[in-house]
Structure 1
């Protein structure tokens, strides 16, 4: 395997980590006003992600940094062409982070209510727009011969991309509900499990349609198998949550989200950003990559520090593994 392929796989793994971990953060944030009946329950829901949400965002920062260093052409075309949606995602993440930190700074119902709105909006916008962005990456965008994006913001809001956004949105809501069911006790846990079954049915239908449509953008036997595995894992997660097996439900939900992301990258390979103007203008692993020397240095650094990051974050989850009650 060449270094370009190694880093393509590495970036895919980073996005898998981000969507699996940050996905339930987004879900919890979007469900604050839907599931919690009082301020104590909202605080309990936020406490489930309190020790980990900022660490989960490290996966996004690392994925962006790795793309910039390993595939600078991809990074340049992606961040210029997708400037508006990525800016909206950034602003939403800032609002969400500030809201989580500032919510408890004053003993005021009105104060907390407005910050709760910020958390919900800051979770909704990325959950929707990440799906729109990745769907456009797989589908392809209007790149000219210089790899510059020549389309408009409206071109990014095509039916396939909007379906991708709704799919990630519904998946993250369900993933978050399953996480709350796992991490809390009592009535709020039972309510979360019930909600996960309701939203999970919608998410499963959207995921089937989206992954089936995705196969027309370069899929093969392998991607069909991945898509089927993602759907089956998600259905199994719903079955587990219905039987009260929250641990298995969360694990299977995480597998479903992760495999779905892998499927998108598998369909994309060997391109990193296809051109709908002319296939010859597409960005590929070869014409978007940095020099072999750069990739070699990055590989050695990643081999040393990536395991340390994974070990530290795993330790964090272990320390804060206990259930939380609204009391």
Structure 2
């Protein structure tokens, strides 16, 4: 296996980690507008991810940085061709981060409500657009002989891509609802379980359609295996949620996201960005990669730094592992 193949796998792992962690993060943000009934419950939901949301976004920075260094042509074509959707995601992430920090700066209800609306929309929009972006990467876009994207903005919003956006939106919301039921006590925990069941059924239907479409279009034996794992894990997550086994439900929903990302990357390989104009113009792990020397340096750095980062982030989740409820928010704490 060549180093550019190894880094293709590592980038897939980084995106898997990002969608697993930021997935429930986005889901909780969406649930602040769907599940919470008052200011205290909205604050409770925000507190479930308060200690970890910024650490979750580090996976995105690492995935983007690794793509830039390991596959510069892929990075250049992707970020220039998908400039507007990725810019919208970036603006949402910036506003979302400000919302987490600024919401409690003033006790005024209107001030806090406006930031809560911002948190809802800046969680929902990226949850959709990430699915749209990755669906287009797998399905292929208009890339010419000079490795430039020559399509338009609205070309990115085709039927397959919109279905991909629906899948990530519903999967992340389901993942977030299961996380809330795992992290809270009281009535909101029960409502989160009920919400997870409803959203999970929609996610199962959308994911099955999207993954089967992907398999028919570009799949092989390995991607079919990932498809089976994804669907089975989602069914198991819904069943565990109905049985009140929240830990198992969260683990299975995480496996669903991991298997879905794995299927997309397995369907994509050895391309990194297929061209719909000519197969000869597609970006591959070979023609889009950096030099072997660069990849060797990156491999050594990743081998040293990655275990330390994983240990630190795992320790953070361990410290903040206990359940919380509205009773833990003092009267007038807003």
Whether the TM-score (by the shorter chain) exceeds 0.5 is yes
TM-score of the two chains, using structure 1 as the length reference = 0.99
Match of 1:297 in 2: 297
Match of 1:165 in 2: 165
Alignment length (residue pairs): 327
TM-score of the two chains, using structure 2 as the length reference = 0.97
Match of 2:235 in 1: 235
Contact 1:138 1:217 in 2 (8 A): no
Deviation of residue 115 (structure 1)? Answer: 0.2
The aligned runs of 1:3-82 (5 Å cut-off) are 3-82=3-82
Q: Deviations over 1:102-143 (max 9, x none)?
A: 010111110110000000011011100000000000000000
Match of 1:125 in 2: 125
Asked if residue 188 in structure 1 is aligned to residue 188 in structure 2, the reply is yes
CA distance in 2, matches of 1:301, 1:217: 37
CA distance in 1, matches of 2:269, 2:33: 40
CA distance in 1, matches of 2:96, 2:149: 30
Q: Deviations over 1:131-189 (max 9, x none)?
A: 00000000000000000000001110000000000110000010000000000001010
CA distance in 2, matches of 1:80, 1:216: 29
CA distance in 2, matches of 1:122, 1:57: 14
Asked if residue 138 in structure 1 is aligned to residue 138 in structure 2, the reply is yes
Secondary structure of 1:31's match?
helix
CA distance in 2, matches of 1:59, 1:259: 18
Match of 1:223 in 2: 223
In the alignment, structure 2 segments of 5+ residues that lack a partner are 328-334
CA distance in 1, matches of 2:287, 2:24: 35
Match of 2:116 in 1: 116
CA distance in 2, matches of 1:218, 1:247: 34
CA distance in 2, matches of 1:178, 1:109: 28
Deviation of residue 221 (structure 1)? Answer: 1.5
Q: Deviations over 1:40-99 (max 9, x none)?
A: 111111110000000000000000000000000000000000001000000111111111
CA distance in 2, matches of 1:315, 1:250: 19
Q: Deviations over 1:188-239 (max 9, x none)?
A: 1000000000010000000000000001332012111111110110110010
Contact 1:147 1:281 in 2 (8 A): yes
Displaced runs of 4+ in structure 1, greater than 2 A? Answer: none
Asked if residue 176 in structure 1 is aligned to residue 176 in structure 2, the reply is yes
The aligned runs of 1:313-324 (5 Å cut-off) are 313-324=313-324
Match of 1:278 in 2: 278
Secondary structure of 1:20's match?
helix
CA distance in 2, matches of 1:110, 1:286: 54
Match of 2:287 in 1: 287
CA distance in 2, matches of 1:300, 1:4: 14
CA distance in 2, matches of 1:289, 1:164: 27
Deviation of residue 292 (structure 1)? Answer: 0.2
Match of 1:99 in 2: 99
The aligned runs of 1:202-217 (5 Å cut-off) are 202-217=202-217
Match of 2:311 in 1: 311
Match of 1:86 in 2: 86
Match of 2:149 in 1: 149
